[in-house]
Copies of this chain bind each other. A is one copy, B any other.
Amino acid sequence: MQDRTYTADTEPGDDVTVAGWVHEIRDLGGIAFLILRDTSGKIQIKFEKDEMDDDLVETGLDASRESVVKVSGAVEEEPRAPTGVEVTPESVEVVAPADPELPLDPSGKVDADLSTRLDNRTLDLRKEDVQSVFEIRSGVLNAVRDQFREFDCTEINTPKIVATGTEGGTELFPITYFGEEAFMNQSPQLFKQLIAGSNVERVFEIGPIFRAEEHNTPRHLNEATSIDFEGAFCDHQDAMDVAEGIVKAAYEAVQENFGDELEAIGIADEFAVPEGDFPRISYEGAIERINATGELDEQLVWGDDLSTPAEEALGQDVGGHYFITDWPSEIKPFYIKDHDDDPELSTGFDLMHPRMELVSGGQREHRHEKLIEGFEQQGLDPDQFEYYTKMFKYGMPPHAGFGLGGERLIMTLLGLDNIREAVLFPRDRQRLSP
């Protein structure tokens, strides 16, 4: 691929051709500066009106903001320039002019509401802080995959068009598939189990999931990225180890590789990799601690699910990531295994950030008979899931796993207010385009 000159790589003495967007033009009279921006940063282009060709000066200084221009010239040291260098142009070409009426100000000086920003994502992403979120997102996905490979996992891709949902017919988007009813998959759960039960044993998948939830909150999406793990011969403690390792790997990669981006987002000072082991608090212990905070109007009793205020009270009390383990069996789905010595208690766990739940996982029910019972107890027809259950008759090993919300990981890692800030083109009740 032909070499491209990034503005950030230019050195005094270079003859360069740089291309990017007109970020700003500062006209001081006899001298004027065009600040050119590309993916790597910004560079100052100097126009000395009396000493340069009129056409060249006009082309450069008449370019509207956000137009794409290409500039060739010599790089010189200039301590007063933002990056310490500037380019004296020998040629300037407007490659793609921008309408002067911008629907959004990419310099970030004029605020825009989230909806306007999402409608004009191309312009929005020209802001350094927004760009930085998505550079970090890319780096986090990379770090997460590397960590899964460290854990001996094979990457898999499971189907997104399915005949039945993981947990029955609610919250599924229906599709017409060559005249048949089908659905967009809400979780790779059943499919990843089918692969963990084969010779592949330990698998991960990072892919889209689709949930027709009516919720329209700052922490829900109707299309999200799920980071899934499933491992044969693993129990729920192993799955927690993996989940903890994955979350920490994400923080470590950001710490190591994205200092400038954290700076751009404005959180370089407060960002920290979680230290020490994540505490593993039993459900029973959790409700005791929540009740002891006195934050809730009503005391929780055993069997209650944890409301958002309950989670928040506990999150504040713990002050970092933590697991909640040993949930009541009846709150957890049919595919989670109960403890052998106490069928009221499940091996299900959640990994919590103080702000919200990130991960849900557990050891899976691998015994065919128990699995069928589970379907029936949950009011599901096991016959509909025969493609799944029948494989449990042919040597299905004990296995465990989890699903981690990719956007929730990014949102909590970067302290974003709204989960939509962590997705390029979010999908929610109101938003289907772009």
Interface residues of A (CB under 8 A from B): 1-2, 4, 19, 21-22, 37-39, 66-68, 95-99, 102-103, 119-128, 131, 134-135, 137-138, 141-142, 145, 149, 151, 154-164, 173-178, 180, 182, 184, 190-191, 194-195, 197-202, 207-208, 210, 212, 222-223, 225, 232-234, 237-238, 241-242, 245, 366-367, 387-388, 390-391, 393-398, 423-427, 429, 432-434
Do B1 and A242 touch across chains, with their CB atoms under 8 A apart? Answer: yes
- Chain A at the B interface: SS class: mixed
Do A184 and B175 touch across chains, with their CB atoms under 8 A apart? Answer: yes
Other-chain contact of A96, B142, B161, B397 (Cβ < 8 Å): B397
Q: Can you list 19 A-B contacts (CB < 8 A)?
A: A1-B242, A96-B398, A119-B387, A122-B394, A123-B391, A125-B195, A125-B200, A131-B198, A134-B154, A134-B156, A137-B155, A142-B145, A158-B425, A160-B223, A164-B433, A175-B175, A182-B432, A207-B207, A208-B208
For A65, the closest partner residue in chain B by CB is B395
CA distance A138 to B238 in the complex (A): 22
**Chain B positions within 8 Å of A66 at CB level:** 394-395
Do B238 and A2 touch across chains, with their CB atoms under 8 A apart? Answer: yes
CA distance A367 to B241 in the complex (A): 52
For A159, the closest partner residue in chain B by CB is B425
Other-chain contact of A123, B103, B155, B198, B223 (Cβ < 8 Å): B198
CA distance A128 to B200 in the complex (A): 10
Other-chain contact of A19, B182, B394, B397 (Cβ < 8 Å): B397
CA distance A164 to B366 in the complex (A): 42
CA distance A242 to B160 in the complex (A): 28
CA distance A10 to B190 in the complex (A): 32
Do A38 and B163 touch across chains, with their CB atoms under 8 A apart? Answer: no
A21 to chain B, nearest CB (A): 5
Do A233 and B19 touch across chains, with their CB atoms under 8 A apart? Answer: yes
CA distance A128 to B180 in the complex (A): 35
**Chain B positions within 8 Å of A97 at CB level:** 395
Do B199 and A131 touch across chains, with their CB atoms under 8 A apart? Answer: yes
| Among all A-B residue pairs, the 4 with the closest Cβ atoms | A125-B198, A387-B434, A98-B395, A138-B155
Do A427 and B161 touch across chains, with their CB atoms under 8 A apart? Answer: yes
Do A199 and B126 touch across chains, with their CB atoms under 8 A apart? Answer: yes
Do A99 and B394 touch across chains, with their CB atoms under 8 A apart? Answer: yes
CA distance A89 to B411 in the complex (A): 51
CA distance A237 to B182 in the complex (A): 41
Do B177 and A173 touch across chains, with their CB atoms under 8 A apart? Answer: yes
Do B163 and A432 touch across chains, with their CB atoms under 8 A apart? Answer: yes
**Chain B positions within 8 Å of A178 at CB level:** 212, 429
**Chain B positions within 8 Å of A191 at CB level:** 424-425, 434
Do A366 and B96 touch across chains, with their CB atoms under 8 A apart? Answer: yes
Pick the most buried of A103, A119, A161: most chain B CB atoms within 10 A of its CB.
A161
Other-chain contact of A2, B157, B175, B237, B387 (Cβ < 8 Å): B237
A137 to chain B, nearest CB (A): 8
A424 to chain B, nearest CB (A): 6
Other-chain contact of A195, B201, B223, B390, B424 (Cβ < 8 Å): B424
Do A141 and B121 touch across chains, with their CB atoms under 8 A apart? Answer: no
A161 to chain B, nearest CB (A): 5
